[in-house]
Amino acid sequence: MIKYIVRRLIALIPVLLGVTLIVFTLLYFTPGDPALVMLGDEATPEAIAQIHEELGWNDPFWVRYFHYVVDLLHGDLGQSYTNGRPVFELLIERLPKTITLALISTAIAVTLGIILGIIAAIKQNSIFDNLCMLLALVGISMPHFWQGLLLMLLFGVKLGWLPISGWGEVGNVILPSLTIGLGSMAIIARMTRSSMLEVINQDYINFAKAKGQKSSRIITGHELRNALIPIITTIAIQFGNMLGGSVITETIFAIPGVGKLMVDSIRSANYPVVQGGVLLIACIYCVNNLLVDVIYAFVDPRVKTNLSNAR
Amino acid sequence: MEEKKTTEPVSEQAVMTVKDLRTALKTRQGILYPVDGVSLEIPKGKIIGLVGESGCGKSMMANSIMNLLPKNGYVAEGSILFQGKELTTCSKEERRKLSGNRITLIFQDPMTSLNPVIRVGKQVEEVLKLHKNLSKEEAKKTVIQMFTDMGIPEPERRYYSFPHELSGGLRQRVMISAAMICRPDLLIADEPTTALDVTIEAQILKKMKTLQKEEGTSVLLITHDLGVVAEVCDLVYVMYAGKIVEAADVRELFHHPRHPYTEGLLNSLPSRNRGRRLRSIPGVVPILTEMPEGCRFAPRCPYATDACRQKQPEMRQVGDSHQVRCVLDRELISEGGEANG
């Protein structure tokens, strides 16, 4: 198992290198001159040229990429063009907010999603089932920003229960978490339902019934444990999406997290920050995937056997 | 648990009496009856065979007794009397207390009947947890003892195995352990060896029979394999298209089958056809939506007359321990079937 984890961690290196290459290339070809942003409208051509020279922007693409990767290996993500602070510091400062948001959203999505999914599966084809699945469909179809705006309008403006922007108080977390979490909740609910329905008809569920087990224990002890396997994948993918979704949600709700930092940086052509941000989220994504594969082995013993047989 | 010698299929010592049981399935084509008026008695300490082709309602019968019918299924009529308790009307909770404890079930396919994510020892222990008041260590010890009795090698290690780590034979032994660990009064075995190869089948049957003898458990063995019936059963019920067509002592049935269907089944046994082509029964079991009006076997019966096709025959006594649902009065030839070979 430990061998497997180490192998997976080593395999992360080329993936992350790939990420740096893609991000670097994209930003390289993005029009707009960061030097203009740094110096303002009054910049003289000489000053711009000087900055280009200082930052090595006149070098060819591969040389610039090479320098970037070497710096990365030294733990240097570069400095922000706008205020000169190290990118690493900027990101670490904002990361807790983004992670908090993603975790709370995941918690909401997972708890509600699984509960709704189970009830829908048990009461298959009932009114409750149909209602749940209709809501889930709405949840999946509605884009985050639109959901966010509607929530703001209802709870912030009309009812005035919750603050519509900012960070720092408990109330600030609720609307953005809901915005990010509702879509995922809908997907998890649908996944749970179909996964449960598949398990409910298995022979081993009948075996559990024949043993005289209570229905409630059959659901939690036998059905859910098996149904959970595909649900975990969904949750993991959703967690990644929530991190990505934070870009939009943080902007809408004016939360000073990594997502908002990236959007602001794109607007000001602050490339090192954008690169750093994307790399950070990619890292979290990869670790998240690895974590899921490890959790798999614990939920499904067959996976564990395969892992130990593989070596 | 003392052994009582009874030769009659109908006895006062019945563990379970099923009377006129009709099990219904609600479908788009209307209400269908896969089990249609079945009566049978399971005497104490005996092994009863329930034989028939696939699709004749055998498993529905077992599921009706075990309360495992699909969502659209229910017992429409009749009674299932278990040790004086009417199962069709008693509460869910009462039935739950009997299931796995006094009445147990072995499933057909051991590959799919064990929960893939739970250790097999725990799955057997679950039964004890539900029905017996044992401490954790006692329960574990009982399970390991049961595994030893069932001939599972390295029982302590197997206790922690997951189903996918065991062979089909071992899994079925685990299933039987779960079914026998509470020393039930009635064990329903639904094709317990169909999914296994023949050498394993023989071992498992032997083990089941030994356990059954030791505990005095009654067994309802559901199978399509007359070879298995000949080997282990005391009494046999032959089922066709949702109805019992013949019931007899196992020797009587093999030597003097009265129903053409039984005869057909016997003729399709390889051991009875040495050196000759196997004879199968032409046609298939009628599907539930298209049941013939008269005798349900008439369309496939070589002796069928117009009378057979019009009116359903009743079950009638033709010997001490022999009943048949057929109007034909002559004794059919069984010994190799010379007369109509």
Are A118 and A47 in the same domain?
no
The whole-number average pLDDT for the span A51-57 is 79
Are A69 and A99 in the same domain?
no
Are A174 and A267 in the same domain?
yes
Mutation site, A122, A205, A211, A224, interface B, largest B CB count within 10 A: A211
pLDDT tens, position by position, A226-250? 998 889 888 888 888 888 777 888 8
CATH number of the domain to which A228 belongs = 1.10.3720.10
Instruction: Please list, residue by residue across A156-168, b when 16 or more beta carbons sit within 10 angstroms of its beta carbon and e when fewer do.
Output: beeeeebbbeebe
Contacts of B26 in chain A (CB under 8 A): none
CB-CB under 8 Å, B126 with A207: no
Cβ atoms B115, B163 nearer than 8 A: yes
Q: Which residue of B has its CA nearest to A296?
A: B117
Domain assignment of residue A80, yes or no? no
pLDDT higher than 50, residue A144 = yes
B248 beta partners: B236, B322
Are A37 and A112 in the same domain?
no
Are A107 and A45 in the same domain?
no
Domain assignment of residue A1, yes or no? no
The whole-number average pLDDT for the span A81-105 is 88
The whole-number average pLDDT for the span B265-280 is 76
How many domains, in total, are found in chain A? 2
Confidence of residue B330 (pLDDT cuts 50, 70, 90): low
ipTM of the complex: 0.83
Domain assignment of residue A188, yes or no? yes
Are A214 and A299 in the same domain?
yes
| Token code pair at residue B319 | 């010997």
Confidence of residue B341 (pLDDT cuts 50, 70, 90): very low
Among left, alpha and beta (phi > 0; psi -120 to 50; other), residue B242 is: left
Domain assignment of residue A87, yes or no? no
Are A107 and A229 in the same domain?
yes
Percent of chain B, pLDDT > 70?
91
Are A25 and A163 in the same domain?
no
Are A119 and A213 in the same domain?
yes
A204 CA to chain B: closest CA distance, Å? 4
Q: Which residues, in sequence order, are CB contacts of B240 under 8 Å at separation 6+?
A: B52, B53, B56, B261, B285, B296, B297
Q: Which has more confidence, A132 or A304? A: A132
CB-CB under 8 Å, A299 with B113: no
Distance CA(B57)–CA(A156), nearest Å, equals 62
Q: Which domain holds residue A67?
A: 12-73
Are A167 and A297 in the same domain?
yes
Distance CA(A151)–CA(A256), nearest Å, equals 20
pLDDT higher than 90, residue B306 = no
Crossing angle of helices B136-149 and B120-131, rounded to 10°: 120
CB-CB under 8 Å, B97 with A302: no
Q: Is B217 exposed, middle or buried (0-12, 13-18, 19+ CB in 10 A)?
A: buried
CB-CB under 8 Å, A208 with B164: no
The whole-number average pLDDT for the span B230-258 is 91
Residue B309's CB is within 10 A of a number of other CB atoms, namely 14
CB-CB under 8 Å, A212 with B99: yes
The pTM for the full model equals: 0.78
Contacts of A213 in chain B (CB under 8 A): 96, 100, 126, 130
Domain assignment of residue A2, yes or no? no
Q: Which residues, in sequence order, are CB contacts of B181 under 8 Å at separation 6+?
A: B124, B127, B128, B142, B143, B146
pLDDT higher than 50, residue B1 = no
- Among the partner-chain residues B100, B118, B162, the one whose CB lies closest to the CB of A210 is B100
CB-CB under 8 Å, B162 with A203: no
- A2-11, B107-116, B271-280: which has the minimum mean pLDDT? B271-280
Domain assignment of residue A265, yes or no? yes
pLDDT higher than 80, residue A55 = no
Are A106 and A58 in the same domain?
no
Are A106 and A52 in the same domain?
no
Contacts of residues A291-296 at CB distance under 8 Å and 24 or more positions apart, as own/partner, are: A291/A236, A292/A232, A292/A233, A292/A236, A293/A8, A294/A1, A294/A5, A295/A232, A296/A229, A296/A232
